[in-house]
Amino acid sequence: MVTPKLWRLADNPFDMAEQKVEDIKAIIRPCGLSPRKSQAISDLSKLLIDKHGGEVPQSFEALEALPGVGHKTASVVMSQAFGVLAFPVDTHIHRLAYR
């Protein structure tokens, strides 16, 4: 599993921002698109520090305003981190549901 390994490396934006992108990439490689995602994780950690005091925003609107965060990711964060009822659906499931 990727998340426990990533959280062992750094479990907050301050620590994550200090990590080498290559170290993040090595951990998230099984998820695919690791070069792009690892840079995005690093950049987003720095942005959370600069614009949000290192805190994760607690609204869909604020989350979706972050680079690389769409409605599905915002739904996952809102439901898992903040206990908000949300149903994360990716574009493929959304498309199939309308068929």
Annotated catalytic sites, by residue? Answer: 72, 90
Alpha helices in the chain (DSSP H): 2-9, 13-17, 21-28, 34-52, 60-64, 71-82, 91-97
Best CA proximity match to 21, nearest among 46, 1, 56, 51: 46
